Amino acid sequence: MHDIQDRAEKATKITWIGFAVNSVLMLFKLFAGIIGKSEAMIADGIHSLSDLGTDVIVLFGFRFVGKPPDESHDYGHGKFETLTATIVGIILIGVGAGIMWNGGKSIYDFFNGTPIERPGWIAFYAAIISIISKEILYRYTISVGKKINSQAIIANAWHQRSDSLSSVGAMLGIGGAIMLGDRWHILDPAAAIVVSILILKVGIEIVIKGLKELLETSLDKEAENKIVQITENVLGVESSHKLKTRRVGNNIAIDIHIEVREDLNIKDAHNIATAVENKLRGAFGEGTHISVHIEPEKS
């Protein structure tokens, strides 16, 4: 229980830090985009606004993740973390699609005679500040996410990284539009479209992974082979079969049948099953849910 709460506290702390940074950056980038007349920077500011939304979702999700198993959740509340990561991915897809639509519309209007205004230097400087800030935040967040093995925090870190990439694209587009003349003002919305593609890619990958877990997809073959190998190396296990696996948020669930000598008494067979559980928890974590079914060895 302590480990679950400690993990939730670390996740909450890094998310609050991200929320504070994103709040300042969002206001600054929207201000710079409006004053500097830069569509790419306004899109970048909206992306930072979506970061605030995902921070709130992660904070809300970890209010449940930190709870121990109870009567209504025998396997704990790990699925809330998976659901949180999936929602973050869906928001990323929505943000990417919106930025792509706006950038495409501006390019279409440009080729139909509507001029694109030259962006100002304030938008360019805002992009540089955003790149540095969000890259630092990404590296800090991803390190915490990997340390506590949290898909929700890792997904949120990638949301931070996508904002950094968004600012890189905005910087290049704004810089080109400023320095290369009127004909190249189109680089501003073009940069926004490039950014949107990067955001969509990250969002789709996060959603696919989250849906696989929510739909009870089994672990990959490498993990399942490792489970079989660990189980069959336990003294007294003659063979194993009927392996079933799935993810429960940060943890995994393992259901496996083992065969033991048929002349063993119940106590000895039980001790073998306990040894299997201990070996698997040692390899996959103390929070692993394990069910071992004992069968007599087939002749």
Task: Tell me the three state secondary structure of residue 240.
Answer: strand
Task: Tell me the three state secondary structure of residue 43.
Answer: helix
The whole-angstrom separation of Cα 76 and Cα 253 is 11
Strands 239-248 and 251-260: antiparallel
pLDDT digit of tens for each residue in the chain (299 aa)?
Answer: 446 667 777 888 888 888 898 889 888 988 988 888 887 788 778 777 777 777 777 777 666 655 665 565 545 555 676 777 788 788 878 878 887 887 888 788 878 877 766 777 888 888 899 889 988 989 999 998 888 877 778 877 877 777 777 777 778 777 887 787 667 777 777 877 877 787 788 788 888 888 877 776 778 888 889 999 999 898 888 888 889 888 776 677 888 998 888 888 889 889 998 999 899 988 887 778 888 898 888 76
Cβ-based neighbours of 25, under 8 Å, separated by 6 or more: 48, 129, 130, 133, 134, 163
> What is the reported pTM?
0.61
Residue type, 134: K
